[in-house]
């Protein structure tokens, strides 16, 4: 015969959820058939698809070298921030396809994607990258133009006569 449950604690014990509620969620390694970690990074209108696999540290963006695609040193620095923070320089090959937006938005999207892919490959890096803010998608986008305005907020020029 079934027992009568009179409180939430008894219900929790009956269901077997008496485990430690303060335990951190367990993150597992997510790899595809070729042993690569995949992630999508986004920033403004840019979307980057990123694959990370063990290698010599070569970064390829849209089938071109990193130095060719992102010519500005600041953009290259932005891309390499998650790898440097995780102290994995020269350990992973990164293959990226990126579409949309300008170069700055694309660099931010690739950084976001690399950070997410690294956490899929090595889940223990998650706390380091999250603390630095690399796993959070920057949701700022261009404000839309309103009717009766020259741009999003700028008014048309006032004419007295």
Q: Provide, rounded to the nearest whole percent, the portion of the chain with pLDDT above 90.
A: 76
**What pLDDT, on a 0 to 100 scale, did the predictor assign at position 21?**
59
Directed axis angle between helix 103-121 and helix 73-85, to 10°?
10
Greater confidence (139 vs 26) lies with 139
- Number of residues written out for the chain: 161
Read off φ and ψ for residue 108, nearest 5 degrees. Answer: -65, -40
What DSSP designation does 2 have? Answer: P
- Residue 74 corresponds to which tokens in the numbers above? 């600041």
Instruction: Provide the pLDDT for residue 17.
Output: 56
Kindly indicate whether the domain formed by 34-132 is annotated with CATH number 3.30.230.10: yes
The sign of the CA dihedral 54, 58, 62, 66 is: positive
Over the stretch 75-133, which tens digit does the pLDDT of each residue have? 999 999 999 999 999 999 999 999 999 999 999 999 999 999 999 999 999 999 999 99
Q: What is the pLDDT of residue 32?
A: 87
What pLDDT was estimated at residue 120? 94
- Closest C-alpha to 79, from 44, 32, 71: 71
The pTM of the full predicted model, rounded to 2 decimals, is 0.80
Taking only the tens place, the pLDDT of each residue in 14-28 is 776 545 556 667 788
For the chain, domain boundaries: 34-132
Answer yes or no: is pLDDT of 40 > 90: yes
Contact 73, 30 (CB under 8 A): no
What percent of the chain has a predicted confidence (pLDDT) above 70? 92
Cα gap 153→54, rounded to integer Å: 48
């Amino acid at each position: 015969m079934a027992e009568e449950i009179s409180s939430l604690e008894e219900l929790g014990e009956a269901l077997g959820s008496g485990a430690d509620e303060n335990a951190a969620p367990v993150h597992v390694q997510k790899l595809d058939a070729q042993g690569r970690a995949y992630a999508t990074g986004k920033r403004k209108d840019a979307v980057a698809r990123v694959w990370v696999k063990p290698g010599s540290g070569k970064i390829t963006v849209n089938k071109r070298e990193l130095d060719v695609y992102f010519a500005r040193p600041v953009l290259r620095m932005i891309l390499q921030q998650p790898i440097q923070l995780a102290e994995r320089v020269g350990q992973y090959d990164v293959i990226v396809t990126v579409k949309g937006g300008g170069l700055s938005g694309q660099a931010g999207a690739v950084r976001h994607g690399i950070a997410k892919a690294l956490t899929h490959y090595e889940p223990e890096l998650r706390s380091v990258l999250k603390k630095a803010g690399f796993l959070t998608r920057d949701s700022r986008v261009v404000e839309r133009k309103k009717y009766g305005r020259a741009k999003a907020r700028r008014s048309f020029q006032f004419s007295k006569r």
